[in-house]
Amino acid sequence: MNPHESEVYTVAPEMPAMFDGMKLAAVATVLYVIVRCLNLKSPTAPPDLTYQDTALNLFLLKSCPILTKEYIPPLLWGKSGHLQTALYGKLGRVSAPHPFGLRKYLPMQDGATATFDLFEPLAGHQSGEDVTMVICPGIGNHSEKHYIRTFVDYSQKQGYRCAVLNHLGALPNIELTSPRMFTYGCTWEFAAMVGFIKKTYLQTKLIVVGFSLGGNIVCKFLGENRTNQERVLCCVSVCQGYSALRAQETFLQWDQCRRFYNFLMADNMKKIILSHRSVLFGVGSTKMVDTDLSRLYTATSLMQIDDNIMRKFHGHNSLKEYYEKESCVHYIHNINVPLLLVNSGDDPLVHNSLLTIPRTLAEKKENVIFALTLHGGHLGFFEGAVLFPHPLTWMDKVIVGYANTICQWEKQKPPCLSQGAHSIETKCQDSKS
């Protein structure tokens, strides 16, 4: 280079400090949204329990420690009720097992055919007794759903026989034999399954389990008639809403994206109904007309489907009448066997206002425990360290743990309680006097 020529340098202009500040602000905003959406600052805690201080309840809390220990969801996403619900809805469970069962078919009086799957225990029960879990799944669900398979496999290994109701019309490969399918509170098919188990296994005792809509059905079934509680050791209901009439308004609200979930569930119900359109809307149907089918196509909420289709299966004159008569809130106070009601505080489907029902019931009835977790979503209750959830959930373990403790109580309770755990205080006081 010529020494007389000067060197030329190109200097990039400095970006203003404000630009760096904007980047930091954007990152901070994203992190804030993530923290808020994933609810990362929310603490973990044991379930909030409502119960009376009876001998049985105190025994349960002492002998079933999962009810009083912290429920710890996966760190990064488990505190979001939406992600817990979405993971349950999309995957059901992680690495779900494939338990082997036999499908049973039960003819009903109206020409319908109820089906349920029967799974024999894989080990002896710790009590030495014959105990059967009679299980009612959530809306439009059946024994092949992953969360049901996971729970059944775990229960079998703990020595329980399992009978799982397949909601009428829910199984894609089983045709309806009459123009009727499952509804929010019809107990006919569940009653038929329970009757079959009682007649087939004369020595067995029953643990009644219901998930979501299934929780409404099992509680309504037990409360409809006192004889339905015979040979029942206890009942567990998980994530139900208790009153469809009260839930109706909350499902139309956008709070917690509930209106969006309503749309998704309605879409799923439409698919189930339309898969049986030839039976439900065919020549043999006397309750449905062509206008009902056209309204079904345009429905965007469960309430529209219930009003145009579901209520007519049982001849209800209005949606209000249908919700009133099919909700367990009018029957649950008649249940006298030990009853565990489980809900999650961040369940996007069950509004917090509905939880006054189980809380008030537990305050008034000595056989009831109401357990409310901070997290868990709708039928999620996943556990895990940071990112990946365990195959077995807190929900699976709490149901089996509660059932095991009830069986243990039945085996060792004092003679003064031999007529039922629900009458604890009165009978023992009488025997002392």
Picking from 184, 220, 240, the residue whose alpha carbon sits closest to that of residue 335 is 220
Tokens linked to 331: 């029957």
Cα 135 to Cα 325: distance, rounded to the nearest angstrom: 22
Torsion over CA: 278, 283, 285, 289 (sign): positive
**Letter for the amino acid at 110?**
D
Q: Is 51 exposed, middle or buried (0-12, 13-18, 19+ CB in 10 A)?
A: buried
SS3 of the chain: helix, strand, coil, percent, to 5: 45, 15, 40
Label the pairing between strands 232-238 and 205-211: parallel
Angle 424-432/55-63 helices, nearest 10 degrees? 120
Which residue among 80, 143, 155, 212 is the active-site one? 212
Q: Is 204 left (phi over 0), alpha (psi -120 to 50) or beta?
A: beta
Please indicate whether residue 212 is annotated as part of the active site: yes
Is 347 marked active-site? yes
Catalytic residue chosen out of the listed positions 82, 276, 316, 378: 378
Burial class (CB within 10 angstroms; exposed 0-12, middle 13-18, buried 19+) of 305: buried
Range list of β-strands (E), 120-169? 131-136, 161-166
Nearest to 161 by CA among 191, 188, 197: 197
Q: How many CB atoms within 10 Å of residue 138?
A: 24
Alpha carbon of 316 to those of 287, 324, 327, 389: distances in Å?
11, 10, 13, 43
Q: Which of 316, 347, 375, 396 is catalytic?
A: 347
**Angle, in degrees to the nearest 10, between helices 188-200 and 213-224:** 70
Give the whole-angstrom CA distance, residue 397 versus residue 267.
32
- 174/195 Cα distance (integer angstroms): 22
- Counting Cα atoms < 13 Å in the Cβ hemisphere of 210 gives 28
- Tell me which residues are annotated as active site: 212, 347, 378
